Amino acid sequence: MIKQEKNGNTRWRKAGGGKYASDANKKPHGNTLNDEPTDIYIRIDKDGNHLKPGIAKDASKRYPKKELLDGKEAVEIGNRPRDRAAKIERFLSERKDYPDDNVLWSGKRDPSSPNYDPNYIPKHMR
């Protein structure tokens, strides 16, 4: 349910009821593609092998310590607005089949990958 205030602010509440909340109090979701500064990183193992690319608000805090015990780390390779960083992450994933990358487009443009598709066109470009 939506309620318009006299000052022009929109207030809303869930269908189940509850208190009204204004849009000014509503925080964007952490994965919202916006211009917020975002780290681009490559996760590597102790031997320097690339495991997967990724983006995070702070690459140094992306993984909990227990996941980094065996020498893995997230190495920051750049910082861009979140919308641009997401495109770079996808670009990297499409061009190499990373072992820990669990996205559908991983390796689609890498001729040495079993996922290689010479006719692959990303969904957003069709």
Q: For residue 117, give every residue at least 6 positions away whose Cβ sits within 8 Å of its Cβ, in sequence order, or none.
A: 108, 109
Residues 66 and 107 in one domain: yes
At residue 122 the predicted structure's pLDDT band, cuts being 50, 70 and 90, is: confident
Looking at the chain, the whole-number percentage of residues with pLDDT higher than 90 is 60
In this predicted model, which residue has the larger pLDDT, 62 or 23? 62
In this prediction, residue 32 carries a pLDDT of: 81
Domain that holds residue 20: 1-29
Same domain for 100 and 80, yes or no, is yes
Closest by Cα among 61, 41, 43, 40 to 52: 43
Q: Are residues 24 and 66 in the same domain?
A: no
Q: How much is the average pLDDT of 78-89?
A: 95
DSSP state of 92: H
Quote the CA–CA distance of 22 and 24 in Å, as a whole number: 5
Is residue 7 within 8 A of residue 22, CB to CB? The reply is no
Q: Are strands 50-56 and 2-4 parallel, antiparallel or unpaired?
A: unpaired
pTM equals 0.74
State the total domains in the chain. Answer: 2
